[in-house]
Structure 1
Amino acid sequence: MNWAIDIDRDDVTQAALVSDPATALAPGQVRVRIDSYAMTANNITYAVFGKPAGLFGNDQGYWDFFAERGAPGRLPVWGFATVTESAAEGIEAGDRFYGYYPMASEAVLTAGHVGPGGFTDVTPRRTTLPPIYNHYQRIEALHDYRGADHDYWPVFRPLFLTGWLIADQFEDEGDYGAEQILIASASSKTAIGLGFSLAQRQGHRPQTIGLTSKANVADLDAQRIYDRVIAYEDIMTLNAGTPSALVDMAGNGAVTRAVHSHFGNSLKASIIVGKSHWDADAGEAALHGPERQGFFAPGRSQKRIADWGGPAFGQKIAEAWTGFMDVAPRLARIDKRRGGEAALEAYKEMLSGRADPKAGIVIEP
C-alpha cells in the first residue's frame, strides 16, 4: 500500500503515517516510485520554514512543493526515484531520477522541459518556487555520479552544495575581513561541507574553528575537517580581539549570544544557515556586533549560474563533490531503514535531536 507522512503545518511535532491512494495521471504527468531518500537536519529546516517565511520572496514556503494550501504538509526530501508510469513524452517507465520528492512511497510530477539530462516539474504551484528544487536529473546524466557513492548522494549532496556555496561567498566577500571562521553545529553535514570546502582553498584563508558539544570534540577533531575544534563552553577562551565571522548551522540562540557578546565589534559577519534547533531561542534580541544575515543556497546558486554559466557552475561542483566523496565514507556511516513506520520514526528522531550526527539515515520506502 502506498503511504505518505502528513505533518501539521502549525505544529511540526504532529506527524502521521497515512495511506496515499494512487490517482490517474493527467497528460504530461509521471508517477515515480521513491527508491531511497535521506533524512537529515536539513529536512527539519524545511519543516520549520514550511509556511511562508520570506525565503522565496513570495508568499510560499516548503509545504507548497508537495501539498495544496489547506492540506497537511508533505515534507520535501532529496533522493532517487524510478518512473513506474508515464504520460509525458520523452520519459518512460524504468527511467531513474535524482531530485526533490515528498516524504512518501511514491509521487506524481508534472514533467516539462524534458531532455537527455532530465526534466523540470511544472506543477503550477511550483513554478514560482526556486528552480534548483524543481529540476530532476537522470542518473545517467550525472557526470560526477559514481555507483559506489549512491547512498551518499541524498545524505550529503544538497548539504555539501550548501557548504560549498557558503565557502564561495566568503571568498567572494574577502572573508568579510575575518581571520577566523567559527562554525557552530560543526558536526552537522552542512558544516562539514563548509569546513572541507574552505580547507581546499589555495593560498591564504581564515582559520576554521568548529564549535560543538563537549562530547563531540574529540571525534570531530580527529576527522581533521577544521583547523581547530572546541566545545561551546570554551568560546570565551578565544581571543576576543581577533576579527572573526560566525556561521550558525542550527539557530541555537545560546551559542549565538555567546559569540556575539564575546567578540562584539571584532565579529565581522554573523550568518545563519539552518534552523534544525527549531525549538530554541534564535538569540536575535539585542546582540552586540553585526546584524545577522541569512544564507539561502538556491539564491547563491542562481547568482553563480548567472556569473559563470550553467556548465561552468556544474563543473566546479562536480570537481568539489568528487573530492569530497573520497573522504565522505570516513565521516558518516549509512544507516538504512525500510518502510513507512521507519520513515516516521526517523523524522521524529531527527526532530528531537536524537539522531547520531555520524550516521547518514537513508529511507527505502
Structure 2
Amino acid sequence: MSAKSWAIDIDRDDITQAKLVTDADELLAPGQIRVHLDSYAMTANNITYAVFGKPAGLFGNDQGYWDFFSERDTPGRLPVWGFATVIESAAEGVAAGDRFYGYYPMAESAILTAGKAGPGGFTDVTPRRTTLPPIYNHYQRIEALEGYRAADHDYWPIFRPLFLTGWLIADQFEDEGDYGAGQILIASASSKTAIGLGFSLARRAGHRPETVGLTSKANVADLDAQRIYDRVIAYEDILTLNPGMPSAFVDMAGNGAVTRVVHSHFGNNLKASIIVGKSHWDADAGGAALPGPERQGFFAPGRSQKRIADWGGAAFGQRIAEAWLAFMDVAPRLASVDKRSGGDAALAAYREMLSGQADPRKGIVVVP
C-alpha cells in the first residue's frame, strides 16, 4: 500500500468543512484486511449519513454514522456504498484479489476486520461496529450477490441501497394496509430512494393507493415522462389536491416547508407522515407542532431485520433480487452514470451533493 493513499475528513460538527488528507500506512493486525476501493457512489443518501453522523438515536443513544470508520474525537469519515478489492490480508478465509460489495469510508483504501468469512462474504467485527446494524457490517463477494449482472455493475452503488430502502417502505405500506390512505404523496420524488418506492408500489398486484410525486416545478415534465408515479405535481400545487382524500406522506428530504404545507392542507385526513432522509440538511425540519399525525421515522436496517426474521434470509434475498432485476431493466433510462476519478474529484462530488445542485438524472460514481 502507498503511504499517499487519500481520504476525506469531515468536521463532525460542521459537515460543510471537508478536506482531502493523506492516510499513513499502517501494518495489519491479525484478522484485518486492506482493501482498495474500486468504485463507490455519491448520493443524497450520503448527506443523510453525514447529518446523522453524530449520535441521533438511530443506533441507540451513543452511536452515529461516524462510528463506522472513525474513532471518537477524530474527524468523520463518510460511509459510502461500493466495490473494493482486497490488496493485503491477515485474515483467514479472505485473500488478496477477492472483491466485495459493501460499506466503505470515502477514501482510496480502508482497513477492515474480517470475521465469519465464507463463500458469501464476511462480517466486519471491528469492536466499535459490533453493536451497529448487521446490514452495514456485511460484505458480500461479487460472485455471491443475488441479482448481480456485470452489465449493471455501476448501478449497484448508485441505486442498490436506495432502491432497497424504497422497496422496504413500499413493503411497510402494504403491511400496514397503506395506513388507510387512498393516495401516497412522495416528496423529493426525483430522488433515487423515492423512485425505488414509486417503482415498487407500481409493481404491486391488486388495489393500491395512487402515487403522487412531489418535486420542483422545473422537474415535473421530465419526472412525469418516466412513468414511475401515477401523477407528478410541483410543490406549489399541493394545495390543488383534494384535502378530503385520506392520504399518506413520505418525506425523503426533511424539508420543513413542504411538510408544513402537506400537514396543514390535509389535517386529520393525513393518515401517516413518514420521514426517510435528511438531504435538505440546512432546511427547517418542521419540528413545530403540526396538524395531523405525528411524524414517524423510517429506518431501513430495522425493517430489513424484521423481514429477515419474518421470511428468513434466503427468502428475503430472493424477493429483493427479483424486484432489483425488474428495476435494472429500467434504471438506465432513469439515470446515466457520471464517473469521477481521484481524490480531488471525490471531494468535489461531496461538495456538489451537499450543495443540493447535483443533477438527479445522473448517478455519480467515484473511481478512487
Equivalent in the alignment of 1:257? 260
Q: Do structure 1's residue 188 and structure 2's residue 188 form an aligned pair?
A: no
Equivalent in the alignment of 2:364? 361
Equivalent in the alignment of 2:5? 2
Q: Match for 2:111 among 108, 111, 114? A: 108
TM-score, scaled relative to structure 2: 0.99
Alpha-carbon shift at residue 176 of structure 1 (Å): 0.2
Q: Match for 1:176 among 171, 179, 192? A: 179
Tell me how far apart the structure 2 counterparts of residues 13 and 197 of structure 1 sit (CA, whole Å).
34
Letter of the 1:144 counterpart: G
Q: Helix, strand or coil for the counterpart of 2:305? A: helix
Equivalent in the alignment of 2:300? 297
Letter of the 1:348 counterpart: R
Q: Helix, strand or coil for the counterpart of 1:11? A: coil
**Could you say what the CA RMSD is over the residues aligned between the two structures, in angstroms?**
0.4
Alpha-carbon shift at residue 21 of structure 1 (Å): 1.8
Equivalent in the alignment of 1:320? 323
- Within a 5 Å distance, the mapping from 1:66-215 to structure 2 comes to 66-215=69-218
Percentage identity across paired residues of the two chains: 85
Tell me how far apart the structure 1 counterparts of residues 105 and 35 of structure 2 sit (CA, whole Å).
11
Q: Do structure 1's residue 307 and structure 2's residue 307 form an aligned pair?
A: no
Alpha-carbon shift at residue 58 of structure 1 (Å): 3.4
Tell me how far apart the structure 1 counterparts of residues 183 and 354 of structure 2 sit (CA, whole Å).
31
Tell me how far apart the structure 2 counterparts of residues 70 and 57 of structure 1 sit (CA, whole Å).
19
Tell me how far apart the structure 2 counterparts of residues 170 and 142 of structure 1 sit (CA, whole Å).
27
Tell me how far apart the structure 1 counterparts of residues 25 and 284 of structure 2 sit (CA, whole Å).
41
Tell me how far apart the structure 2 counterparts of residues 319 and 58 of structure 1 sit (CA, whole Å).
36
Equivalent in the alignment of 2:270? 267
1:21-48 Cα deviation digits (max 9, x unpaired): 2200000000000000000000000000
Tell me how far apart the structure 2 counterparts of residues 263 and 322 of structure 1 sit (CA, whole Å).
36
Tell me how far apart the structure 1 counterparts of residues 141 and 273 of structure 2 sit (CA, whole Å).
37
TM-score, scaled relative to structure 1: 1.00
Q: Helix, strand or coil for the counterpart of 1:320? A: helix
Equivalent in the alignment of 1:33? 36
Tell me how far apart the structure 2 counterparts of residues 81 and 241 of structure 1 sit (CA, whole Å).
51
Letter of the 2:23 counterpart: D
Q: Helix, strand or coil for the counterpart of 2:278? A: coil
- Within a 5 Å distance, the mapping from 1:44-55 to structure 2 comes to 44-55=47-58
Q: Do structure 1's residue 350 and structure 2's residue 335 form an aligned pair?
A: no
Letter of the 2:237 counterpart: D
Q: Do structure 1's residue 57 and structure 2's residue 52 form an aligned pair?
A: no
1:309-329 Cα deviation digits (max 9, x unpaired): 000000000000000000000
Q: Helix, strand or coil for the counterpart of 2:40? A: strand
Letter of the 2:315 counterpart: A
Alpha-carbon shift at residue 252 of structure 1 (Å): 0.3
Equivalent in the alignment of 1:233? 236
Tell me how far apart the structure 1 counterparts of residues 194 and 347 of structure 2 sit (CA, whole Å).
25
Alpha-carbon shift at residue 56 of structure 1 (Å): 1.0
The answer to whether the 8 A contact 2:184-2:249 is kept is yes
Letter of the 2:97 counterpart: G
Letter of the 2:111 counterpart: V
Alpha-carbon shift at residue 143 of structure 1 (Å): 2.5
Equivalent in the alignment of 1:13? 16
How many aligned residue pairs are there?
A: 365
Equivalent in the alignment of 1:341? 344
Of residues 277-286 and 75-84 in structure 1, the stretch that sits farther from structure 2 once superposed is 277-286
1:101-136 Cα deviation digits (max 9, x unpaired): 000000000000000000000000000001000000
1:56-86 Cα deviation digits (max 9, x unpaired): 1231000000000000000000000000000
Tell me how far apart the structure 2 counterparts of residues 56 and 270 of structure 1 sit (CA, whole Å).
22
Tell me how far apart the structure 1 counterparts of residues 346 and 146 of structure 2 sit (CA, whole Å).
30
Letter of the 1:239 counterpart: N
Stretches of structure 1 that go unaligned for 5 or more consecutive residues are none
Stretches of structure 2 that go unaligned for 5 or more consecutive residues are none
Tell me how far apart the structure 2 counterparts of residues 236 and 346 of structure 1 sit (CA, whole Å).
35
Letter of the 1:344 counterpart: L
Q: Helix, strand or coil for the counterpart of 2:323? A: helix
1:151-189 Cα deviation digits (max 9, x unpaired): 000000000000000000000000000000000000000
Extract structure 1 runs of 4+ deviating beyond 2 A.
none
Alpha-carbon shift at residue 284 of structure 1 (Å): 2.3
